[in-house]
Amino acid sequence: MSDALQSLSDALAAAVENASVGIVRVEGRRRLPGTGIVWSSEGVIVTAHHIVERNENIQIGLPGEVIAPARLIGRDPNTDLAVLKVEASTTPPVWAGGSDGNELKVGHLVLALGRPGTQVQATLGVVSKISEPEEDRKRKRVRVEGHGPGRHGGHGPGGRRWMWYAEAEMFGSIGPVIQTDVVMYPGFSGGPLVDASGAVRGLNTSALAQGSSVTIPAAHVRSVVDALLAHGKVKRGYLGIGAQPVRLPSALAEELDQEIGLMIVSVETGSPAEKSGLLLGDIVVSLGEYAVQAIDELLLLLSGELVGAETTVRVVRGGQLIDVTVTVGERE
């Protein structure tokens, strides 16, 4: 028994040692510094948005007690992520060395790492809650017949797609998160959550859930960082409507294989919705090729490359299905 515990202890210590070379201190606020992760060998650092309170005079504490100035590349308050760049030579990127690895499960041992001072600190815990895999959520949402899943979802009647992540637990608009019982000490925000093998599973933050810390999964961090590196921000779409879920008439629900739509209860003056001709009382049932039954679904669809592009909003108006072409605006 003692040998097994010693082996586990050695493995965890090795995981911390391997990951610590790519963890830096971020001095971007008056209070205690936070933590950042070396993203690339070109000096890109990923950290938590809320610990970078200023846009200038940001300092990075590299391993070996080297201090280097950093500039802000971009930030996304919705996901509490920020990207910095240092010109000094950095250590090998810890993120590239890690990966999502095997499926992370409730009960798995994980480590939270931080460098609020000159040395890396670590705390140990277990995964306490994690969102279900996308395909499991899809099966709960709708039984798809006659078609296999596509890249983002399964095909429903008429070739429309269903969103797999419709019933994911949401923290704001960031999507699923990992919850653990790990104690996040002050200054740990912006640091990585690593598994027992040392693979980075996400970025820790204390700003997204009141009274506790959560971890943004690695895959979502990558998508946000890619957007920040390309545009300096994450583009999010805007229609300019207020809407509430309503039940569709039985005949229409059977035709669409969809019970719920979003009834428009307000249209903002000068908005993309008004310009396109969407009206009060219209019931939105799909955006593009995706069925829409909840506000969260609509918000998740209005992002990325869809911003600034034309798309089709299918609505029920006067008992008839009507397609309206809308140019998606960008939310400020």
Spell out the domain ranges in the chain: 1-129+176-233, 134-167, 237-330
Asked whether residue 119 carries a pLDDT value surpassing 50, the answer given is: yes
State whether CATH 2.40.10.120 applies to domain 1-129+176-233.
yes
Asked whether residue 171 carries a pLDDT value surpassing 90, the answer given is: no
Q: Which residues have CB under 8 Å from 176's CB, separation 6+?
A: 130, 131, 165, 168, 169, 170, 217, 220
Which CATH code of 2.30.42.10, 2.102.10.10, 1.10.1040.10, 3.20.20.10 fits the domain covering 237-330?
Answer: 2.30.42.10
pLDDT band, very low/low/confident/very high, at 187 (cuts 50, 70, 90): very high
pLDDT at 98: 47
pLDDT band, very low/low/confident/very high, at 21 (cuts 50, 70, 90): confident
Question: Span 136-143, mean pLDDT?
Answer: 32
Q: How many CA atoms lie within 13 A of 153 on its CB side?
A: 24
Alpha-carbon span 60 to 79, nearest angstrom? 22
pLDDT at 140: 32
What are the C-alpha distances in Å from 43 to residues 8, 62, 119, 308?
A: 33, 11, 20, 32
